[in-house]
Structure 1
Amino acid sequence: MIAYDEALHQLLRHARRLEAVSCRVGEALGKVLARDVVSPMDLPSFDHSAMDGYALHAPQSLAAGSEHPVQGSQAAGDAWRVSAGMAWEIMTGARLPAGLDTVVPVERTELLERRSDGSPARIRLLDAVMPAANVRYAGSDVAKGAVVVRAGTRIAASHLMLFAALGIASVDVVRAPRVAIICTGKELQVGPAQPLGDGEIYASNGPYLAAAFASSEARVLSCETVDDTGQTFIDAVQRARRMRVDLIVSTGAVSMGRYDFVPEALAELGARMLFHKVAIRPGKPQLAAALDDVLVFALPGTPMAVAVGLRFFIAPVLRAMRGQAAEPTWHAMLDTPLQPKSGLRHFLRATVTQDETGRLHAQVLAQQQPFRIQPFAQAGAWVVLPEDAGEAVTGSRVIVASLHPDEPLLTGTDQSGVGS
């Protein structure tokens, strides 16, 4: 049995970087950039007005009370004009006529004269105007050639806004990891509409894993259930290999019982064992192996052992395969006293809240037995206690993690600078 940190180290050593594919920007949401995105242009692409008003030439400040003839009017989308040294009426977003370099808001001027068509002909400044006021200069947001988003970034809607503004039609993203799921157990009834026979239970690990992988932008190519024999498991693994998957994730048959055939079956397939049994709770019998260039995760069949295996073993591997940095570590104040068993890393279902000072608080839920699913559905986070945590009293500083991969710790809450 090895420690969690050593098990994770072994996995990350064998995590193979996935190749890049081109992706249209409109389909890139949630995917991970494979290469830096470099701006093809300045943003803004031209000097323009930040407000409705009058564009002027102001090499130095213009005095309050000074009067200026108005040559014409410039709206957003109009062709570039050349100023003859006079002011121009200008609208928000409109390009500054050549020779003009500052804008005075319309409300800070007095209209002295109109033309026959109603357009302004002469204005007076109510305040002094400083050079370059109220102008958005070309490249002031993004300079041409600048790296705007780094490789390893998970693409959000805000990135799509930036790409669209820069006229970027496609980006290189990491291709989706390909996953096969194999659930073992003759007691599993995979059809929820079917009645249960004697000794049967409805399969829940497969649907959970398939949904969790889908939410992490992984492609589940198969999710099948096999009986309690080594040969049916071997056949399922071989089918997965023919589909050229990157990960095979199985549940059940990995402990020490007479029907726990997975370790022997993997050995028969020629897999190289990375570890079997990790000093954690829940999920101690966890197994990982390398089968050629495929990583195999054999998780215990207990629901919370599956959830821990996905969140704390598979999720970090997926990040490494995509070229993403490790997750940041978050801390919270413990509101529930705990007495964990020494020598094991504990993963406990919890809720996390934020007090009025911005500090995070973790409340560990009751009924932490690994077969219980309802507390998992009620939780919002994990509390992680290291092997040497000892007695954790109320007010202790503990590590917390989001409940599911690629989710914020506090959904909908700005976490910048909080709890770390």
Structure 2
Amino acid sequence: MIAYPDALSLLIAATPRLAAEHVALEVATGRVLAADIVSPLALPGFDNAAMDGYALRMPAAGRPAGHAATVAAMHAAGDSTAAYPGAEACEIATGARLPEGFDTVVPVERCAREGDVVRLLRDETPGLNIRRAGSDVAVGEAVLHAGRRIDTAAVMLLAAVGIAQVEVMRRPRVAVITTGTELHADGPLPEGGIHDSNGPYLAASLARWGASIVARSRVPDTGGAFHAAVRAAQAADADLIVTTGAVSAGRFDFVPTALASLGARELFHKVAIRPAKPLMAARFDGGPLVVCLPGNPIAVATGYRFFVGPVLRAMAGMPPERPRRVRLVEAPPVREGLHHFQFGAWDTVDDERVARLLPAQAAYRIAPFTRADLWLTSSDTFGDHADAWPLDPADAP
């Protein structure tokens, strides 16, 4: 069996990077930037008032309490007027451009006004309550970098600097094939039948990532049906095919042989991990990458999170994901020689945030997945610490 780091290296080396495309900002949420974003303007674009109050021309020594000045005008946000020659004070609104020659804004609650005269209620020093031009973003500054997933914060920034279109990576085109004569959709089950949970899980996970699912099929345990499903995925121009089941060494585990007969080149088969040890990867020359997951639902979840997830990142030009190192409440007994993937939950011990492994985990048990906060992984054995990962690769930075 190949070790997990070696298997992942082979898989990423065989993963093609997708092309870029331009999309409108309003539909860019969730997409991955293909190039750095360089700001065409400064934020703020001009010196402006940080609060409602009075703009003053202030000497270096400041002004004492009781100082009075005549208010020349009301200066609102968006006003085009740039100067009030000879004036010492003007009323100003939050966000309004600071008029020429004015250098301080005194909050309205620290002033008393009578008619056109404003009086300071306390000593004031120069330069206060001004948002300086470029203090947030400078012209020409790289504000977002290639490989960054566009979230709502990024949308706010891009809109603020006037960028209406962004260059993003093309969405990966993915086909999903679940195998198993026993699998059925919702509705009454025949004797010996089970509901297909792997197909809906993968479809939901891939959609959350932002992939386009170009083909999805459920096939019985026959090579002919699987052949047809793979051909359909190729015809749909899939970049990646994800299969579940029929990948081990039993009588009905036909996937490795079927893929070879279709012309796929095996990258590896069987990885020293738990769960999902029978996992396989292959590649069609000039065609899609194939990741074949075992059929047990948590083996599918493991394979998606720690094999398919890294492939999707590599396709998008994103850097490798880095885990967080956490302390465990208790180290569980595990099999040596394997890379272990288990569900964990956050806990607190002596004001320290720690993690604990959830009980009763097995490749067929789905309920612990629904109670988990994170994945915990460790090579060989879990000691006092483990690597922590978000449950879904779409949540990773």
Deviation at 1:214, TM superposition (A): 0.7
Aligned counterparts of 1:66 and 1:208: Cα–Cα separation in 2? 70
Aligned counterparts of 1:152 and 1:90: Cα–Cα separation in 2? 42
- 2:298 corresponding residue in structure 1: 304
Aligned counterparts of 2:18 and 2:169: Cα–Cα separation in 1? 6
- 2:250 corresponding residue in structure 1: 257
Indicate whether 1:331 and 2:311 are aligned: no
- 1:186 corresponding residue in structure 2: 181
- 1:270 corresponding residue in structure 2: 263
Q: Which amino acid aligns with 2:184?
A: Q
Equivalent residues in 2 for 1:7-86, closer than 5 Å: 7-64=7-64, 65-86=66-87
Aligned counterparts of 1:380 and 1:126: Cα–Cα separation in 2? 54
Deviation at 1:278, TM superposition (A): 0.2
Q: Secondary structure of the equivalent of 1:406? A: helix
Q: Secondary structure of the equivalent of 2:138? A: coil
Aligned counterparts of 2:24 and 2:348: Cα–Cα separation in 1? 38
Deviation at 1:271, TM superposition (A): 1.1
Q: Structure 1: where are the runs of 5+ without partners?
A: 115-120, 410-420
Aligned counterparts of 1:372 and 1:279: Cα–Cα separation in 2? 21
Aligned counterparts of 1:316 and 1:326: Cα–Cα separation in 2? 7
Give the TM-score normalised by structure 1: 0.89
- 1:93 corresponding residue in structure 2: 95
Aligned counterparts of 2:79 and 2:379: Cα–Cα separation in 1? 64
Q: Which amino acid aligns with 1:124?
A: R
Aligned counterparts of 1:397 and 1:95: Cα–Cα separation in 2? 54
Aligned counterparts of 2:349 and 2:131: Cα–Cα separation in 1? 40
Indicate whether 1:177 and 2:172 are aligned: yes
Equivalent residues in 2 for 1:187-336, closer than 5 Å: 187-190=182-185, 192-193=186-187, 195-292=188-285, 293-336=287-330
- 1:149 corresponding residue in structure 2: 144
Deviation at 1:178, TM superposition (A): 0.8
Q: Secondary structure of the equivalent of 1:401? A: strand
Question: Residues 355 and 326 from structure 1, CA distance in 2 versus in 1: closer, same or farther, beyond 3 angstroms?
Answer: farther
Identical counterparts, % of pairs: 48
- 1:416 corresponding residue in structure 2: none
Deviation at 1:356, TM superposition (A): 6.6
Deviation at 1:5, TM superposition (A): 0.4
- 1:397 corresponding residue in structure 2: 385
Farther off after superposition, 346-355 or 267-276: 346-355
Aligned counterparts of 1:106 and 1:133: Cα–Cα separation in 2? 13
Deviation at 1:240, TM superposition (A): 0.4
- CA RMSD of the aligned region, Å? 1.8
Deviation at 1:274, TM superposition (A): 0.7
- 2:343 corresponding residue in structure 1: 349
Aligned counterparts of 2:62 and 2:375: Cα–Cα separation in 1? 61
Q: Which amino acid aligns with 1:66?
A: H
Q: Is the 8 A contact 1:57 1:85 kept in 2?
A: no
Once the two structures are superposed, what CA deviation does each residue of 1:137-161 show, in whole Å capped at 9, x if it has no partner?
2222111221111111111111111
Q: Is the 8 A contact 2:33 2:149 kept in 1?
A: yes
Indicate whether 1:373 and 2:366 are aligned: yes
Aligned counterparts of 2:297 and 2:134: Cα–Cα separation in 1? 53
Q: Is the 8 A contact 1:85 1:99 kept in 2?
A: no
Q: Is the 8 A contact 1:61 1:129 kept in 2?
A: no
- 2:395 corresponding residue in structure 1: 407
Q: Is the 8 A contact 2:321 2:396 kept in 1?
A: no
Q: Secondary structure of the equivalent of 1:127? A: coil
Deviation at 1:59, TM superposition (A): 4.9
